[in-house]
Structures are given as C-alpha cells and as structure tokens.
Amino acid sequence: GEDVEQSLFLSVREGDSSVINCTYTDSSSTYLYWYKQEPGAGLQLLTYIFSNMDMKQDQRLTVLLNKKDKHLSLRIADTQTGDSAIYFCAERSPGGSYIPTFGRGTSLIVHP
Amino acid sequence: DTEVTQTPKHLVMGMTNKKSLKCEQHMGHRAMYWYKQKAKKPPELMFVYSYEKLSINESVPSRFSPECPNSSLLNLHLHALQPEDSALYLCASSQAGTENSNQPQHFGDGTRLSIL
C-alpha cells in the first residue's frame, strides 16, 4: 500500500529558509500536495505538483520533486513566525480511489 | 477564510446526546468527505460521498451516520458517542470523477468535538 513519510519536527530561526521533506513509496503517485494546518484550524492547501514537473515556485514557496528517489520537498524562503504550523505532505495515485494518503505531518517551529 | 464552512466550531456533548455536524460548500464540488483528526496526527478518512451517493465508508461505527441532502451540504449525525470520539472533525470537498483525480481537496476549519 501507499506510505508517506515525513520528519516530525523542524526548528528554524526567523528569516532563514525552511526545508520540509517527504518521501513516498507508490511509484504510480502522480499528484503531490502540501497542506498547512495552524492550531485550531483545518488544512489549508498551499501548493501541489504533478509528477510531470520537477519544480514549482509560488512566491516564498518552492516545491522540488525527485521522482527517481520518490522525494518531495517544500522550501519556505524568509521564514516568518506566522509560518509556524504543521505541514502535511499528501499523495494521490491516478485512477481507482481518488483519496489522498497523508504523511504524519511536520511541526515547523519558527523562533526569533 | 475557507470556502468550506463547518458548523458548529465547537461542540460538547454527553454520551447519550444526539447532535449533528454540518458542512457546506458552493464551489460546485461533487465529492465531499468527512475526516477525523486527533491531535498531532494526520486526518483519518471516515466517509466519502460522490455525486450525493455514499461511495466509501471506512468501517466507521454506526454511532456516526453521514447524510448528503444535496450537492452543497454534508451532515454527520452523532449518537451515543464515546469519550475516544473526541477529536477535530474535518469536512473536505473536491471535484469528483477520475478525470478530476488531480484536483486537490479543500478543507473546512473543522468542528472540535468533546464527549463528556
């Protein structure tokens, strides 16, 4: 079955870049998503990438996809205290069930 | 602000009460989902509705009863819940159909449920 792995914690200083990593096992994974969850809130879709892409940039966010290693990363430039949240990686395979598989989430802590 | 609206935001109920959670979206999405999320964990899928029909039930206990009265609304009826059912209940929606399987889910802010 599908499996999505993330490290549980990341601590960075305000103004630095954050890199959150995710690995997945399903080689047919075609769609990969990053969600942000702030305390007491739902999941906010940040960005997503298709497997025919290697990189996607959106303002301070850069997503890199290494299909060979089944590795996805989310880079947040100039990290701010408001970026403190849990970040979930999710993957979805084409056809069949269209239900995404979520990683356990990475808690990003930004300190001054 | 989220385009998926859930009410109430917080709910405290006893084990013998009956209550309902509500979810509404006006994005024209025809797939709607209920998830349960415990603290510091990823969301766990409970139910999926596709074109107003229940398509997935992840072996959820019968004390949770979903309902999809129309394409914009999704309810979750609760009865005789247990303390371990305390959690954040998230609703999500997306485009339906395999031709739209690349489209992401959009989540509401959830209902924080506490069972006494």
Q: Which residues of B touch A43 (CB under 8 A)?
A: 43, 90, 92, 105, 107
Look up residue B45 and give its two tokens.
Answer: 């899928």
Query: At residue A104, what is the residue type?
Result: R
Are the C-beta atoms of residues A23 and A73 closer than 8 Å to each other? no
- Contact between chains at A94 and B106 (C-beta distance less than 8 A): no
CA dihedral of residues A91, A103, A46, B75 (deg, nearest 10): 90
- Contact between chains at A41 and B102 (C-beta distance less than 8 A): no
As averages over each run of 10 residues, the pLDDT of chain A (112 residues) reads 86 97 84 93 92 91 94 96 96 72 96 92
Collect the ranges in chain B with pLDDT lower than 70: 1-2
Q: What pLDDT does B2 receive?
A: 64
Q: What pLDDT does B104 receive?
A: 87
Q: What pLDDT does B99 receive?
A: 73
- Contact between chains at A98 and B101 (C-beta distance less than 8 A): yes
Q: What pLDDT does B1 receive?
A: 52
